[in-house]
Structure 1
Amino acid sequence: MEIDYKILNLYKTKQYDKCLNLCATALQNKSDRMLEFIQMRAMTIQAKVAGNGYEEVEYFPKQDDLVTTAVAKTPRAGTAFQREVKTAQQLNKRTSGTATSRGVSTSRAPSTRAALHTASRLSRAATALAGGAPFTASTPLSLRFLTKEDTLFVPAAKTLFEYVYYCEGDIRKAMDIAFQAQKSTEIIDWWWNFSLARCYSALGMHRNTEDCLRQALKQNKHISIYLRLVAMYVGLNQPLSALEVCKQGLSIFHEYTPLLLEQARIHDEMGNPALAVKEYRMVALEDPSNMEAIASIAMYNFYNDQPEIALRYYRRLLATNNPGPEIFNNLGLCCLYCNQWDLILPCFRQALYFSANAETRSDIWFNLSHVALSTGDMALARRCLQVSLATNSENEASKNALCALNAQLRVRR
């Protein structure tokens, strides 16, 4: 009993690695369904944490031309997302100067939503489901093969489903567990319809996904159902339907931050920055440390000739989040357009210090060339652009700027 107590204590205190090691040791000598159940739960929780705590909405899904659920190529105006990516030639000097959290200049960013994403969205690892690779270490066996006649099937069904869905990545086997669990009990549980919707969504069966989510919504008004419906409509390029779902959710979950965020992102992708910023301000009021909302508001003010206000928001980001090259880069640009010359170079120096990849450093040197041009030093601007290209030879904005600058210097000679 001592080892069973240790395993249970490790699981309760969320020491999952030690718990799994101890479970593997204990199950070598005996077969214990309780230990296998704890082992399954620990493995599932680890897979969910490594993959995705809150299931994000994918705004640019990969679609196959042969899929029957593909959206029209030319939808009616105002009913679809703007998926056109602007090039450096289409943007003015100020627009092409702000670096984003992905290490690219805004000339390649599709919208202001790319201003500064949350750290979780950038550092999230791929789930076992996405990779399709099952767990190989100490995979529980006896619980996996429970029959529906077994008395333990219904109590362990949810754990079995999540283990197969997250750890093994077998969608069809997970769906079979869900169907058998629904048949084995007379109690109507919205969770099973929601879980089936996740499976259908992973298989690209959007009509079945919507039917299951609508049934789950009739049984229980849960926030996860609303978020999954929003994700489905966004994937189908139906932003108006997604906005309607957001409004329905907000009528029940008043001022709920994830729904407000999705609403703001949808407005942003549809090309309504004013409405998007209004939603982002509501998010910032509910969650003052939300990085995405604050960064989007700052970027909106920056592009609307209010760098002083944008500077205040970027300073707040610096105070509430870990320092990074994007924040210091944007601070330097705001100082440049606010004519705070004593702070420009220190901000860019810190940006270069924190930059970890070549693409980010190249964009920072590109922005430094604008600082040199604003002082009239064309030779220094040319050197900054050369350093930018030496750091990353694929930086199109630096190539175009260097060609234009060389042509202007030849004319002057």
Structure 2
Amino acid sequence: MDPLYLAFSYFRRRKYKESVDICTKILEKNPYDQAAWHLKTRALTGQVYVDEVEVDEEGMAEILMDDNVIANVARPGTSLRKPGTAQSGPSQGMRPTTQGGRPLSGFVRPGTQSGRPGTMEQAIRTPRTAHTARPVTSASGRFVRLGTASMLSTPDGPFINIARLNFAKYAARPNLAKGLFEYIFHHENDVRNALELAALATEASQFNDWWWKVALAKCYYR
């Protein structure tokens, strides 16, 4: 049986590891085999592929840092429970307080609301990833795991040296560019180079290919 056909069969059955192994053997004999190269990029991407439609899941940080909160105290004169009641002294509606119990004055001194070191609040406020300055969320943690998985899949080094790629050449070939984009975006987690490839491919398609417009949106969202 033709090894490339067998690799395609494994890929269709989502046996990505077996497909990658066969493609690697083919590329060892002929490094310029474009079919095996493209299939290996698709198989490596399939191992860590995440549907970008499902990125709106809420983690612990999103729930705790949610700004859409209904006020607990009604503003003076707007409450339907006690219409026209006179309040003695400053009300909580006039002077809302912080989590520490201090009334808000409109000014925040440096470090007063940063939280004590070692608390859950401080851990959420502190960014932990090298790819983004956002606090640790379910999304940013997932992106880091994808990058780690790409390192483990190729112990002898990266399959594609992205720094040496000529994106303009690949952008003019949509049959190779789309698989390469998904490999860079999902497997290597290199959003900047993926964005560059998507921008060149969109220009090469004369802005008529919707697939590249979605790819640009994914990069901007990330």
TM (norm. structure 2) is 0.53
Please name the residue that 1:163 is paired with: 183
The counterpart of 2:204, out of the listed 184, 196, 202, is 184
Q: Distance in 1 between matches of 2:165 and 2:13?
A: 29
The counterpart of 1:130, out of the listed 117, 140, 144, is 144
Structure 1 contact 7–19 (Cα < 8 Å) conserved: yes
- Work out the number of aligned pairs and report it: 145
Residues 145 and 61 from structure 1, CA distance in 2 versus in 1: closer, same or farther, beyond 3 angstroms? farther
Give the CA RMSD over aligned residues.
Answer: 3.4
TM-aligned CA deviation for residue 170 of structure 1: 0.8
The amino acid that maps onto 2:38 is: F
Q: Which has the higher helix share?
A: 1
TM-aligned CA deviation for residue 12 of structure 1: 3.0
Q: Distance in 1 between matches of 2:34 and 2:11?
A: 15
Q: Which has the higher contact order (CA 8 A, sep 6+)?
A: 2
Structure 1 contact 23–36 (Cα < 8 Å) conserved: yes
Please name the residue that 1:295 is paired with: none
Please list, as runs of the form range in 1=range in 2, the aligned pairs for 1:146-295 lying within 5 A after superposition. 146-149=166-169, 153-202=173-222
Please name the residue that 1:2 is paired with: 2
Please name the residue that 1:141 is paired with: 160
Q: Partner of 1:169: helix, strand, or coil?
A: coil
Q: Give per-residue Cα distances to partners, 1:248-280, cap 9 Å, x unaligned.
A: xxxxxxxxxxxxxxxxxxxxxxxxxxxxxxxxx
Q: Distance in 1 between matches of 2:10 and 2:202?
A: 32
Please list, as runs of the form range in 1=range in 2, the aligned pairs for 1:335-346 lying within 5 A after superposition. none
Q: Distance in 2 between matches of 1:201 and 1:22?
A: 35
Percent of aligned pairs with the same residue? Answer: 24
Structure 1 contact 11–19 (Cα < 8 Å) conserved: yes
Residues 149 and 60 from structure 1, CA distance in 2 versus in 1: closer, same or farther, beyond 3 angstroms? closer
Structure 2 contact 170–177 (Cα < 8 Å) conserved: no
Q: Distance in 2 between matches of 1:159 and 1:186?
A: 19
Q: Give per-residue Cα distances to partners, 1:309-342, cap 9 Å, x unaligned.
A: xxxxxxxxxxxxxxxxxxxxxxxxxxxxxxxxxx
The amino acid that maps onto 1:184 is: A
Please name the residue that 1:55 is paired with: 54
TM (norm. structure 1) is 0.30
Q: Partner of 1:148: helix, strand, or coil?
A: helix
Please list, as runs of the form range in 1=range in 2, the aligned pairs for 1:351-362 lying within 5 A after superposition. none
TM-aligned CA deviation for residue 13 of structure 1: 3.3
Q: Give per-residue Cα distances to partners, 1:273-310, cap 9 Å, x unaligned.
A: xxxxxxxxxxxxxxxxxxxxxxxxxxxxxxxxxxxxxx
Matched, 1:44 2:45: yes
Residues 27 and 191 from structure 1, CA distance in 2 versus in 1: closer, same or farther, beyond 3 angstroms? same
Please name the residue that 1:81 is paired with: none
Structure 2 contact 41–183 (Cα < 8 Å) conserved: yes
Q: Distance in 2 between matches of 1:4 and 1:42?
A: 13
Gaps of 5+ in 1: 64-69, 79-125, 203-413
Residues 164 and 33 from structure 1, CA distance in 2 versus in 1: closer, same or farther, beyond 3 angstroms? same
Q: Distance in 2 between matches of 1:199 and 1:9?
A: 31
Residues 196 and 77 from structure 1, CA distance in 2 versus in 1: closer, same or farther, beyond 3 angstroms? farther
Q: Give per-residue Cα distances to partners, 1:321-377, cap 9 Å, x unaligned.
A: xxxxxxxxxxxxxxxxxxxxxxxxxxxxxxxxxxxxxxxxxxxxxxxxxxxxxxxxx
Q: Distance in 2 between matches of 1:187 and 1:161?
A: 17
TM-aligned CA deviation for residue 77 of structure 1: 4.9
